[in-house]
Amino acid sequence: MKITEIRLGTLSIPLKKPFKTALRMTDTVSSNIVEIRTDEGVCGYGEAPPTAAITGDTDGAIRCAVSARIAPALIGRDVSELNDMLFALDRCVVGNSSGKAAADIALHDLWGKCHKLPLYKILGGAYREFATDYTISLNEPDEMARDALEAVEEGYEALKIKVGSDFRLDMERIEAVRDAVGGNVQLRVDANQGWKPKEAIRAVRFMEDKGLGIELVEQPVVYHDIEGLKRVTDAVDTIILADESVYSPRDAMKLIGLRAADMINIKLMKSGGIGGALKICAMAEASGMDCMIGAMMESKVAVTAAAHLAMAHRCITKYDLDPPILCASDPVKGGVLYKGAILGLSEAPGLGITAIAGVEWEI
């Protein structure tokens, strides 16, 4: 089964509510869809949202990388030769982790379809269901409290609270959410790089002293300040989760060697896809470090790939895969299955995705 064509298109899905963090705000999931076709008529799907504030990847960069560098490196290759194709994909262009992730996901989808098995089984996983958390966007404390209570009433038992814009107001936000939902709901705080190291230490100690029961704090400091991240990790009892500080396996190796955080948040758009994520998982498992599986603001295409990875690796113990839940509609046929907060996968081959409605194809 050989690759004959790679198509690129765009997809836009409105959100139920605007999504706000310390880094950006959006009211839609806007993404680039990659479709890889073979000479036997089988298609693999991948996805790359533009997240310039995080990965540096814009729509233009993604489209140029796919059309000018990635497609020529893959067309004509045999689908069964996955590792060789991933090697070529990684070296055909520097950076562009999101564009590479889209192609990588589509290649893994085709790989599963080639073997007529769901991807998680090809990766050695066993079926299990798991619960995602639900993200509470950055707003005024009373609005965040209302959103949190609404999510709990809908059955979500873990909430990710976005903070990082104003230290004192952040503490008010966290207290307001805890007061609203009570003590039995897991709260995860995501600062999105919004604090300085001393500020982060003061914030986490405040939460600990107040008895707010925060499960973990995600990326409290700017991504490149690994020393500052380690200072925070060493100074507090709460779990510190690295997100933007870890993109590549090389980043993970450095962070694990320094023990600069307690956990790593794996996102396919940062790791360049499943191939890079598998290497991060291997290092985490070898060092005894747990991971979270997360996502950018993505459609069900990339989130499905993340769910297959999560089902294949026991080092992934926490799940932040709620973007499709935040969308007002779902144009993806097949893929990950949601029962409220609970995620599952079908036994369909590959990602289990058969069609995507509303894509505007460009090439």
Given CATH 3.30.390.10, say whether it is the number of domain 3-116+357-361.
yes
- Residue 3: CA count within 13 A, CB half-sphere: 28
- What's phi and psi for 122, nearest 5 deg? -60, -35
d(CA 27, CA 191): 20
Per DSSP, helices labelled H in 59-186 are 59-64, 71-74, 82-91, 97-115, 119-122, 141-153, 167-181
Contacts of 235 (CB under 8 A, 6+ apart): 201, 204, 205
Domain with CATH 3.30.390.10 in the chain: 3-116+357-361
* pLDDT of res. 363: 56
State the catalytic residue, choosing from 113, 160, 162, 300. 162
* pLDDT of res. 166: 87
CATH architecture of the region 122-356: Alpha-Beta Barrel (3.20)
Domain with CATH 3.20.20.120 in the chain: 122-356
pTM (two decimals): 0.96
272 burial level (CB within 10 Å; 0-12, 13-18, 19+): buried
Q: DSSP secondary structure string, 153-177?
A: HTT--EEEEE--S-HHHHHHHHHHH
Residue 210 annotated as catalytic: no
Closest CA to 266 of 329, 231, 207, 312: 312
Residue 100 annotated as catalytic: no
Written as tens digits, the pLDDT of the chain (363 aa) is 999 999 999 999 999 999 998 888 899 999 999 999 999 999 999 999 999 988 999 999 999 999 999 999 999 999 999 999 999 999 999 999 999 999 999 999 999 999 999 999 999 999 999 999 999 999 999 999 999 999 999 999 999 999 987 889 999 999 999 999 999 999 999 999 999 999 999 999 999 999 999 999 999 999 999 999 999 999 999 999 999 999 999 999 999 999 999 999 999 999 999 999 999 999 999 999 999 999 999 999 999 999 999 999 999 999 999 999 999 999 999 999 999 999 999 999 999 999 999 999 985
State the catalytic residue, choosing from 20, 113, 267, 300. 267
